[in-house]
Amino acid sequence: MAKPKGGLTKWFKESWVDISRPKKGGGYMPCGRKTSKKGKYPKCVPAAKAARMTPAQRRSAIRRKRAAGNPGGKPTMVKTFTKRKGRMKRGGKKR
């Protein structure tokens, strides 16, 4: 039987990193914290996605994640990329 190439199996096997904690020699620290009292709120993404992100995209994702806060001690889900704004045609209608 063939193994699935995507979906939840792939999601669990990916290497997750915290893009808000870069290493000095390059790359990022693994996702997660030892205690929730120490350090800032992490923004975790798969390592492959982190490598493709621009510095501006990383800053934006980290800023939005921390701004969302942590109400009730539950994990906060924030989109990694913002939704693109549509361009306006003359006359004020979106394309």
- Rg of the chain over Cα atoms, rounded to whole angstroms, equals 17
Does 57 map to a domain? Answer: yes
Using the structure block, give the residue that is written with the tokens 């063939």: 2
Q: Which pTM value belongs to this model?
A: 0.69
> What range defines the domain where residue 52 resides?
15-22+41-67
pLDDT tens column, 17-46: 999 888 999 889 998 877 666 667 888 999
- Whether the pLDDT of residue 50 is over 90: the answer is yes
> How many structural domains compose the chain?
1
Does 83 map to a domain? Answer: no
Antiparallel, parallel or unpaired: β 16-22 and 44-46:
antiparallel
d(CA 14, CA 46): 6
